[in-house]
Structures are given as C-alpha cells and as structure tokens.
Structure 1
Amino acid sequence: MTTTDTKAPPAGSVDERLPVRRLAPLSAQHVLAMVAAPVSTTFLTGQALGLTAAATASLLSATLVLCGAGTLLQSLGAWRFGARLPFVMLPGGAATALFVQIAKDHGPATATGSVLLAAALLFAVLPFYAKVVRLFPAVVMGTTVLLIGIAMIRVAAQLITGRPGTAGYAAPSAVALAGATVACTLLFLLLLRGIWRQTAVLLGLGAGTLVALTTGLGELAPVGGAAGGLTVPHLLPYGTPHFDVLAALPLLVFSLTTLAEITGQTVLNSETAGRASDPGRDVPRVARADALVSLFGALFGTSLMVTSAENIGIGRLTGVRSRFVTAGAGVLLVAVGLLAPVSRLLAAIPAPVVGGSALVIYGIIAAMGVDMLGRAAAGAGAGEGPTVIALALTAGLLPLLAPDIYQGFPAWARTVLGSGVVAGTLAAVLLHALFRGLGARGPAAPGPGGEDGAPRRA
C-alpha cells in the first residue's frame, strides 16, 4: 500500500478500511444478526400465498441477493444513492404484511404493481422531503406500526392453523409446534448474549424445525428445482404487474411514513458512526437507495426493501464503525442467496414453525407501536395525544374486528376503509392536523416537545 498517512482514514472511523482477516468475521456477524428477517418474511410470503417450496426457495434467493445489493449500495454509495453509512437492507416486515394482504385481496400481480407504484412515489416526493415528513409525527408512526403488527399477527396465526376447510385445519400438533418454536426463541433471548442473542429468531426457527423432525409434529417439505449449486431468482414470478392505485393505497401510505423512520435511523447511525448528522443530505440518499432496490425487488416478487438500523448495536458492541464491514456483509448475502442448497433447505421448513417465528417478530412490531404511542401521548398537548390515538386506533381496528362493516360501500371505499393500516394512518394524519390547526388559532399551549406538541425525536 502506498497510501499516505494524511489520506488514510483514522482508525475507528466510518471510512476505515480493514484487512480481510478482520473484515470477514465482522461482516459475518452482521449477516447472522439480520438474516432472520429475510428468511422469516420470505417464508411468511410463500406460505400465505400458497407458493410451492421451489417457488419459495427462488423468492428467498432473490430476497437475500437484493438485501446484499442494497447493503452494498447504502454502505458504499453511488452517485446520489446511498448515504455511505454502515447500514444493512432488509425486506420490511410491515411492508411484507401489506404486500401479503394486497396479494390475498387482489392477487400477487396487483401486489407487485403496488410495490412499483410505492417505490415510484418515494422517488417523486423526495424533493419535498421536509414537508412530507411533517405529516408523520410519532403519533402517526406509532398508530401505523401498531396496526401493522396486529394485522400481521393475524396472518401469522393463519400460517399455524392453515386455511379453513382444508385437511388438518387448526390441528393441535401444528399449534403445539408453533408454541415450541416461540418457547425456544424466548429461551434463546433469555440465555444468549451479544451477537448470538440477536440471532435468537433464526436459532428459534432452527430449533422449531428440529422439534418437528424429532417429535413427528411436522416434516420438511420437499423442494424441487433445477439441479446444481446455484439458484437464479425468477423474473416476474407472479406474471405481468397489474396497477391499481386504490389497491396499492396501503403501500403508498407506508412508503411515505418510511421517510420519518429513515430520518431517525439516519441520524442515529450518523451519531453512532461518529459522523456529523446531515438529514437534508443523507436521508434522501438513503430513501433513493431504498426505492431503487424496491423497484428491482418488485420485479423478483418481493415487497418494499427498507434500510434498517438494527445492526447499529453490533457497531456499538465491537467498537467498529467502518461502512466497509457492512459492505462485506452485503457480499456474503449475495453469495448465500445464490447458493441453491441453502435456499432450498430453508424453504422446506414446516409452516407452523414459520408461523411461530412470525408471531415473535410481529408481536415485537406491535410492541414498538405501543412504545411509540406512549411517548407520543406523553409529549402531546393535554387531551390531544390520547384523543388522536384513540380515534385513529378505532378507525384502524374496525375493519380487523368487523371485516364486513363496509360491505355495503362502493368498491373504492371498501379498499380504502377496509385496510386497517390505511384507515388508521389516514385518521391519525387528519386528526393530528386538525388539532394542530385548532391549536394555532387558540391560546398557545405547547407540550414538552416541539411547537406542535409532538416530541422532538429524530
């Protein structure tokens, strides 16, 4: 190496280049910490849509490759795409829930078209980022996250019970297997520490599969496909995308709400990596990379791909902030995604095991929503937070608890109001704007947060 000391990035910085002997194990840690998300969401999609084991294996391959490519893009950056921070990219759990719901209601081709529309919308609103992000304060984000978690728990339960009218519907053995998977996951969460604790969901998935094979509660599903050591993801696995703006509304709304989440994650990652935070510069770069990878993801059958900050804990644990470590994780993800034996083995896991793991994941999402709402209510003006939360949750839970409540409405109204996530999010946005507008006319009574009573939180 001929690089001079004046040009070499300082040790411990976000731009530090590590030797391969250090880079490889550190990158593998990041893969272990995040691989449970693409595996579980892919299983959930495959099982919920009734995909064959071979199709699920191909979808898993595509998801892992896209996660790797997105991680590389966010870590290394290219033109105005990627913030050059130690980020990883995942299939969004909430986005997957909405994708599955659209696919079940309108068909997977419409769900694919919805992802394309949502990614295009994200591109379109970035020039107006500062104005759009104000529509989604903590009270709105918390409502959205909680409703997504509740809706997804219902989908996960259907994975365990199977479809009504089919053989083995709600079999006690399936419920027991899902319970064993949840128990194993909780045991790992309690006993493990550090990087291994972050893989508790993945380890629980493996333990649940082992329980299925040793007790006879379940069996591996045979996976077909071409012989060989490589898997090539299938282009447009659900056919030509179908575009329906009303059907796509849940994902369109979600794509806008992600701007608030991206802002917080980018600020947090910048601070952790020791780089001066500049949301106006970095957030659009992160969002562009999300939208670009999501466009490609739709072509290979996935939902929206989102940048995640969950691996920040590893950087804090190891003291290594280098973005080249997450770039190495991206390379490993691409390699694993192209290995046919790995994707086929994972795709053969019994559905109740997948459902049990999904219950843990989406239960955590719902709990995150509760936590966000608690902080939003505490920071809002007197009466404002609880009222907005109560009415927004009522609007969102109605279609979940009483699915036929809008049966007599026109089709477009059923599509909008019948989605708990959309109905609740829109209600929260409108109610928050109403309270803020009325507050601006009346006496100033700001809460402990910002001007509008919302807590100052990135």
Structure 2
Amino acid sequence: MSRASDTPAVDAVLPWSQMLLFGLQHVLVMAAVPITSVFLVAKALSLSADLTVNLISATFLLCGIGTLLQSFGPGKLGAKLPFVMVPGGAPIVMFLTIAQQRDLQTASGAVILTALFYFLVLPVFARCIRFFPKIVIGTLLMLVAINLVKVYGGIIAGKAGTPGFADPAHIGLALATIAFTLLFARVFKGMLGQLAVLLGLVAGTVLAAVCGMMDFSGVAAGPVWSAPSLLPFGMPHFDVVAALPLLIFSVISMVEATGQTIAVAEVVGKKIDPRDVVPRTIRGDALMSLAGGFFGTSMIITSGENIGIVRATNVRSRYVTATAGAILVLIALSAPLGRLASAIPEAVVGGTAMVVFAIIGTIGIDILRKVDLHERSNMFVLAGALVMGLLPILVPGLYSKFPATLQLVLGNGLAMGAITAIVLNIVFNHLAAARRDDSHHNETAQHEQAPAAQ
C-alpha cells in the first residue's frame, strides 16, 4: 500500500492547482460576510471611505490568518480541521450597539475583554453548557436576525427627515439584489448554488453601475498594496458593563464552536477527543478576536458555513482551507480590492446582508423547532425572552429615561433576550426539576419509615 493512501483525507496535500481552485471556492462562499460585516458598521456609523477600506483589509487579514491557524493548529491553538473563520453575525450587532451607545473605542475594548474572557472561562465552560439549551440559543439567533433586518432596512431607506429618505431608486436596487440572490439560489445547484449570495451581490452591483449609481473614481487612486493600521479608533476603552452583551455571547459561541468542531470532524471522517480539540478551536477564536479588538474589527470566529462545501465536494483536506486562508491574506493586502468593495452602494450591501443575516433567523427557528413548545415551561421561557428581547428592538428609546448603566443592558435586545431566556430556563426548568427531585426523595423516605413505625 502506498504511503499516500495511508494519509488521512483531512491531512492529504493535494496538487497546488487543485488546492488553489478548491481554496478559492471557500473564499468566494464566505467573501460576502467580511464585506457586509464592515459595511454594517461603516454605514451605520458614517465612517470615512479610507477607514472603511482599512477595516475591510483588517477583517480579511484576520479571517485569513485565523483560517491558517485553525487549519494548521500550531501548539494548542487551532483544531487542525478544515475551518474558515469569519466575523460573527451576533457580535457585529453587539459591537455596533456598543459603538452607538458609547463609542468605537469602548466597542474595541469590549472585543478585547471578551477575547480574554474566553481564555478565563474556557477551563470551566463545560459546566455551564446545561444553562444554554436550544431554547436560549434559538431565541438569541431569532433576535439577532430581527435586529439586523431592522438595522439594514434603516441603511437602505436612509435617515427619516433627510432628503434622500425612502428613495424609490435605492429601495428598488435593494429589492432587486434580494431578488437576484433568491433567483440564483433557486436556479443554480452545486457550487454556483452555494455562491448565490455573492452572485446576488455582484448582480446588484452591476445593476447599480448600469444605472449610474456607482462611483468608481476612487478605485484606481492610492497605493496598490497596503496593510491595515493598528488601533484605527485610538486606544481602546475598557468597560465591563458595556461589554456585557459580548461576554454573554462568548459562552454561547463556545457552545456553537463545540457543535461545529464535532460536525466538521464527522464530515472529514476524523476521530477526535472533544475535550482536546474543542478547546483548541475556542483558543483560536479567542486569539483572533483579541487581534480583532486591536485592529478595529468585531469578534472573528470559526464558521460552519464551509461544512456544506466539504460534504458536497468530498474534498476534506485542511490544506485546502489553509490555501483559502492564504488567498484571504492576499486580498487583505490588495488596496484596490478594498476600495472596490467600498464603492458598492448601501442599497446593494443592504439587500445582500438582509438575506445573509435573515438566514440566522431560520437557523434559530430550526433550533426552536426541536424544543417541545407544548411544554408549558418552555412556552413561557420563550415568550418572556421574546418580550424582553423585542421591546428595545421594536420600540427604540423605551428605556431612555432609565440610568445610563441600565440602558446599556435593558436597551440591548440581544442581551436582554439571552439573559431572560437563561434566567427563566433556570427558574422554570432547573429549579422546578430540583423541587420535584426533593419532593420525590421525601415521599420515598416517608414510605420507607412507615413500616418501621408500625
């Protein structure tokens, strides 16, 4: 038997031509996520074009380095599995909320604190998993999707009271981009079907260019190669209260990383010890998120989006995703690509992003579908969490007359929804179960003592 045949598929080194092709495929599938994540922050906070390009470069760079880290797994960092890293959907919203309520320096500080919190909590995190059941995670994902659709809807429509508010041309372009994305998802199969979101973004951009709604004048200007700058917002400010939403999410992210690591290992046919490999995945997330805080990005975490590609193509090699990581680094250092991305109209980005992040809601629904909502306790846990989570999203300024510290938590629908779900799940399920066990124990003891008394 040849030596090559003894090599596990996940560790196989393919010919360079194949690794470049399959690596590029991974990049194309996930490329829309870094771009839309930066645009969410840049457009909502009215950041300059130069700063936007810098953040796009930083995001691609960290995604690339993180993908290399997870693929190669040096030391105890990285899972040595075919992972691709992207900005997390929920952390982007939380980062933006902190920046809007405080400032960008505090938002960057929150990311750094959360990354350090990963390392601190990791040794004992397994004991907390039972407090984050499907009903908590599903609720949080639904709230994330609703909040993002609202945020991007505001970006598309513009600010109420301004001359450009609800411009039919902008709204029509966003709806056309959504239609393109759904059309591609319906018509195309295989790899093209997996690229439906990116193809929708491209089609919307082409339509905008044809309609004269894009300005390409700045794409060719400036240097060809550039590196993202450190601390683009200045020195971070550290506020634990402001960081609370991200700190809460970090534990949920650890739970998600556990499922993703086990799922990827199963897809590639690699037997792993979760107690060893899962912490390696989480350490990689923590390290890249820590770097992200210093480069002005939100949290950079492992993604399960590439699992479908691995299964569909049956290309299991971690060296393919490592190649994807190298391509991402190359894109990050190419300034014209960043400037081209910055020229895409808000309506196109908004239309694409609403499809991308609405999928988060469908994942949440699918998770909640596995919860027995006919059970009275689960019904009230979900109802209470949705009430507390949706109120600040749907009624802005609801807590505006509360103390500033309370506003930061109460006014964050994602944090309030998650906290409420956790607390109510403990009250309705864990404490109730403990009382039932105590009652059963007392009844058993009484029955055992009765014959002795007779």
Normalized against structure 2, the TM-score is what? 0.92
User: 1:386 and 1:94 mapped to 2: Cα distance?
Assistant: 24
Deviation at 1:377, TM superposition (A): 3.0
User: 1:241 and 1:224 mapped to 2: Cα distance?
Assistant: 31
User: 1:282 and 1:134 mapped to 2: Cα distance?
Assistant: 20
Residue 58 of structure 1 pairs with residue 45 of structure 2: no
Task: Provide the residue aligned with 2:119 in structure 1.
Answer: 123
Task: Provide the residue aligned with 1:36 in structure 2.
Answer: 32
Task: Provide the residue aligned with 2:448 in structure 1.
Answer: none
User: 1:404 and 1:159 mapped to 2: Cα distance?
Assistant: 19
Residue 438 of structure 1 pairs with residue 438 of structure 2: no
Q: Residue type matched to 1:439 in 2? A: A
Per-residue Cα deviation, 1:335-383 (whole angstroms, up to 9, x for no partner): 11111111111111011111111111121112211221121235xx821
Per-residue Cα deviation, 1:109-145 (whole angstroms, up to 9, x for no partner): 1111110111111111001021122221111111111
Q: Does structure 2 conserve the Cα–Cα contact (< 8 Å) formed by 1:54 and 1:223?
A: no
Task: Provide the residue aligned with 2:181 in structure 1.
Answer: 185
Task: Provide the residue aligned with 1:383 in structure 2.
Answer: 376
Q: 1:394 aligns with which of 387, 390, 410?
A: 387
User: 2:305 and 2:273 mapped to 1: Cα distance?
Assistant: 20
The structure carrying a bigger helix percent of its residues is 2
Q: What's the % identity of the aligned pairs?
A: 46
Residue 24 of structure 1 pairs with residue 20 of structure 2: yes
Task: Provide the residue aligned with 2:63 in structure 1.
Answer: 67
Q: Residue type matched to 1:337 in 2? A: A
Deviation at 1:401, TM superposition (A): 2.1
- Cα 1:159/1:193, change in 2 over 3 Å: same
Q: Does structure 2 conserve the Cα–Cα contact (< 8 Å) formed by 1:406 and 1:418?
A: yes
Q: Secondary structure at the match of 1:432?
A: helix
Residue 418 of structure 1 pairs with residue 414 of structure 2: no
Q: Which structure 2 residue ranges, 5 or more long, are not aligned?
A: 439-454
User: 2:363 and 2:23 mapped to 1: Cα distance?
Assistant: 27
Q: Which structure 1 residue ranges, 5 or more long, are not aligned?
A: 445-458
Deviation at 1:404, TM superposition (A): 3.1
- Cα 1:170/1:355, change in 2 over 3 Å: same
Q: Does structure 1 conserve the Cα–Cα contact (< 8 Å) formed by 2:66 and 2:85?
A: yes
Give the total of aligned pairs. 438
Q: Secondary structure at the match of 1:376?
A: coil
Deviation at 1:236, TM superposition (A): 1.1
Q: Does structure 1 conserve the Cα–Cα contact (< 8 Å) formed by 2:125 and 2:251?
A: no
Q: Residue type matched to 1:417 in 2? A: L
User: 1:116 and 1:211 mapped to 2: Cα distance?
Assistant: 40
Q: What RMSD in Å do the two structures reach over aligned CA positions?
A: 1.9
Q: Residue type matched to 1:270 in 2? A: A
Q: Does structure 2 conserve the Cα–Cα contact (< 8 Å) formed by 1:9 and 1:16?
A: no
Question: Which has the larger Rg?
Answer: 2
Q: 1:340 aligns with which of 303, 311, 335?
A: 335
Q: 1:156 aligns with which of 152, 158, 164?
A: 152
Q: Residue type matched to 1:311 in 2? A: N
Task: Provide the residue aligned with 2:451 in structure 1.
Answer: none
- Cα 1:9/1:126, change in 2 over 3 Å: farther
Normalized against structure 1, the TM-score is what? 0.92
Q: Does structure 1 conserve the Cα–Cα contact (< 8 Å) formed by 2:113 and 2:243?
A: yes
Q: Secondary structure at the match of 1:407?
A: coil
Per-residue Cα deviation, 1:290-335 (whole angstroms, up to 9, x for no partner): 1101111111110000101211111111212111111111011101
Deviation at 1:405, TM superposition (A): 2.9
User: 1:388 and 1:71 mapped to 2: Cα distance?
Assistant: 37
Q: Does structure 1 conserve the Cα–Cα contact (< 8 Å) formed by 2:220 and 2:336?
A: no
User: 2:100 and 2:363 mapped to 1: Cα distance?
Assistant: 26
Q: Secondary structure at the match of 2:160?
A: coil
Task: Provide the residue aligned with 1:451 in structure 2.
Answer: none
User: 1:119 and 1:221 mapped to 2: Cα distance?
Assistant: 38
